[in-house]
Structure 1
Amino acid sequence: MIAVNDPSPRGAARGPRLRPVDASHAATPSALTHLLISGAAGDSCGMSLDSGIIATSAPPAAPRDSRLRPFQRVGPYRLLARLGRGAQGEVWKAVRGDARSHVVALKILNQGLSIHPRRLAQFRREAERGARLAGPSLLQVVDAGEADGCFYMAMPYVEAATLHDVIHERRVRRMGEPALPVHPLVAMADAPYYVEAARALARAARALDHVHVHRVAHRDVKPANILLERRRPFGVYLCDLGLGRDLDLATSEQMRDGAGTPMYMSPERLLKAPADEVLSDVYSMGVTLFETLTLGRLFETIRDVPPPALASLLARARPRRPRAVDPSLPDCFEAVILKATARDPDARFRSAAELASALERALPEARRELGLVGPPPRPRFLTPRPHRSPADVRAEVR
């Protein structure tokens, strides 16, 4: 049995030889723990909760020692510190060659998964998709390959926290307990937090629209897959296309595979019904916006529900109004959330760009309602510079 607790108050023939880090060398957990390893916040093969997998086929255990260690070489990279480990593999801070200026986040596929053709093909598709989707607020895959049976992909390394961590620590702070300073947003007063968080989600929605324009559905939009830079004015990155689908290639059966994180999935996807994947992503961004601004969940607490029944229950559950969870939330933000999370897909914003525009239009009104004065900070849209061309990466991961 499982419980979803409402936290409102608070094809290679041979697998790679990976070597996980010793406990004494473990790096402090970072945003990339959630961001790059799908299994850290939901496995790509089954429906999942934030705490991990609830329905998936477990790969066979690795038959031999598979530890990665600091300073070990993986292809052209030298490992520095492990950032996270999950169901799909490990993520390391690494440098290319001996050049300290080429610091990357290196995702390495789990040894047990690389012997499964389906999982290996998915890893390669994720790398290829990430290589061609370059744009503001997206972490592009800048390198990918295989070395001695070790499959990897590299992305720019960003000093950031996930939105998931920010929300969690603000819940802790609201309970009156000491919160970890994972990001400046954690300690911010409520009024500026509403505005800064809404501005960040508008940028994430712009990035999602860029993905859609390139005919890719994200299919796993949630706080754990949004990165916030720790330096003002908080660069924002939408991450992890591990569950993504190419809209022009995927079959209708593939689109209804049920993979994702249930608490953020649209009703039509939860029921595995025919769905407009763009509008489903808009819904997921709306749920993320709800949780970010209210620190609560869209639905009341759901307890003791067996996994097979969870999707159907969530699909039919009555969502809460944002101001019922947080009465201090500005009205203009509630209106945006309600439209983005409409049960009827036709009642939602028609694109992620429309959602972003609605949030941007609401910002001045929210500032007036909250009594904030002075000019807002200038937005910063960053595209980390790759050290290899996307064309080279696409050719290598095929």
Structure 2
Amino acid sequence: MRAGEIVGERFEIEALAGSGGMGHVYRARDRRTGDTVALKVLRRAGKTELGRFSCEVQALSALRVPGVVRYIDHGVTADGKPYLVMEWLSGETLAERMAERGLTPAESVDVVAQVAGTLGAIHRQGVVHRDLKPSNLLLVEGRLDRVMVLDFGIARFRIDQQITMPGTVLGTPEYMAPEQARGERSVDARADVFALGCVLFKCLTGRAAFQGAGALAVLVKVLLDEPPRLRELRPELSEELDALVARMLAKPPGERPR
């Protein structure tokens, strides 16, 4: 798509902002409001890609939660490609921030507490994210007090909804709960608690809770091994924080905090 092209008789393309495996994201102008928006266009139209795209549209259009990128519109381009329009957000991901200069323990707790509040709100609306990780958390304008949850492409919308077949493993191994790694049918909000524990562990220690030479090795450790305790790696951290992260990373979902 080129600058000046109009999508949906409303959104004027300004520039390509980024590309991923599934499609392109453009900066565009909403001619109805004058606002700058992010326009995501699906590049591949296979069954998997269409399913993920549809899932993200369904989740974002239903959620009106501070801390979740705001849905504006969706449709199909003139050449038959699905698109999704969201509010325009600039900043850096938590992954980029950690790679550049890291976070203090206090900053780590503050960021994760914000995300926990957002997750609580989406869980109450029956949505489970299922792919929470630092690259899906955006620090708006680089601010640690404005954290947005991104990418609902494999979210489970409504607790009783069956989006994937039992036995299908979706997610990112380093942040995947054991029940998710096993492809269980009943993956619920507690999987997001586990993933958030992995995020907090990474923020505090600079390393993943589960490490291995490749995705399969990591999944085996998620299923069978216990991660190091925080205070083994950073003895100066409090016992309360150590205990909290250990509970978040408990393999039985029922042992994790709400």
Q: TM-score, normalised by structure 1?
A: 0.59
Distance 2:144 2:251 in 1: 34
SS of aligned partner of 1:91: strand
Q: Is the 8 A contact 1:322 1:329 kept in 2?
A: yes
Pair 1:79-2:13 in alignment = yes
Structure 1 residue 326 and structure 2 residue 256: aligned? no
Of the three residues 206, 218, 222, the one matched with 1:314 is: 222
1:256 shift after superposition: 4.1
The aligned counterpart of 2:3 is 70
Q: Would the alpha carbon gap of residues 215 and 81 (structure 1) be closer, same or farther in structure 2, given more than 3 Å must change?
A: same
Deviations 1:133-172 (A, max 9, x none): 11111112111111211321111111221111111112xx
- Counterpart contact for 2:55–2:152, Cα < 8 Å: no
Is the Cα–Cα contact under 8 Å of residues 56 and 153 in structure 2 kept in the other structure?
yes
Rounded Cα–Cα distance in structure 2 between residues aligned with 1:233 and 1:156:
19
Equivalent position SS for 2:27: strand
1:271 alignment partner AA: R
Query: Does the 8 A contact of 1:256 with 1:269 survive in 2?
Result: no
Contact 2:39 2:83 in 1 (8 A): yes
**1:138 pairs with 68, 71, 92, which one?**
68
Q: Please list every run of 5 or more consecutive structure 2 residues that lacks an aligned counterpart in the other structure.
A: none
CA shift at 1:271, angstroms? 2.1
User: Which residue pairs with 1:208 in the alignment?
Assistant: 119
**Displacement of 1:239 after TM fit?**
1.4
Q: Which amino acid aligns with 1:132?
A: A
Q: Gaps spanning 5+ residues in structure 1: where? A: 1-67, 171-185, 352-398
- Name the counterpart of 1:154: 85
Q: Which position in structure 2 is the counterpart of 1:219?
A: 130
For each residue in 1:257-277, what CA deviation from the matched residue of structure 2 results, as whole angstroms up to 9, or x when unmatched? 201101100112212245442
- Whether contact under 8 Å (1:74, 1:150) holds in the other structure is no
Answer 1 or 2: higher relative contact order, Cα 8 Å, separation at least 6. 1
- For 1:374-389, list aligned pairs within 5 A: none
Contact 1:92 1:106 (8 Å CA) reproduced: yes
Aligned to 1:340: 248
Pick from 178, 199, 202: which aligns with 2:110? Answer: 199
- Post-superposition shift, 1:117? 4.2
2:151 to 221, 231, 240: 240
* Structure 1 residues 209-264: Cα deviation after superposition (integer angstroms, max 9, x where no partner): 11111111111011111111236563111111100112444339636420110110
How many pairs does the alignment contain? 256
Q: Indicate which of 209, 212, 217 corresponds to 1:302.
A: 212
Deviates more, 1:265-274 or 1:218-227: 265-274
Larger Rg: 1
Q: Contact 1:296/1:325 (CA < 8 Å) preserved in 2?
A: no
Q: Which has the higher strand share?
A: 2
CA distance in 2, matches of 1:147, 1:252: 25
Q: Does the 8 Å contact 1:221/1:284 carry over to 2?
A: yes
For 2:82, what is the secondary structure of its paired residue?
A: strand
Q: What residue is the counterpart of 2:95 in the other structure?
A: 164
Give the aligned partner of residue 139 of structure 2. Answer: 228
In structure 2, what is the Cα distance between the partners aligned to 1:276 and 1:125? 16
| Matched-pair contact (CA < 8 Å) for 1:283–1:342 | yes
Asked whether the 8 Å contact 2:128–2:159 carries over to 1, the reply is no
Q: Deviations over 1:30-69 (max 9, x none)?
A: xxxxxxxxxxxxxxxxxxxxxxxxxxxxxxxxxxxxxx33
Distance 1:227 1:253, change over 3 A: closer
Question: For residue 278 of structure 1, what is the aligned residue in structure 2?
Answer: 189
- Seen in structure 2, the aligned counterparts of structure 1 residues 160 and 98 have a Cα distance that, compared at 3 Å, is same
Q: Distance in 2 between matches of 1:86 and 1:232?
A: 24
Per the TM alignment, residue 80 of structure 1 is displaced from its structure 2 partner at its CA by: 2.2
Identical residues among aligned pairs (%) = 28
The residue number in structure 2 matching 1:34 is: none
2:35 equivalent to 1:102: yes
Instruction: Give deviations 1:157-193, integer Å, cap 9, x for gaps.
Output: 11221111111112xxxxxxxxxxxxxxx5xxx6xx3
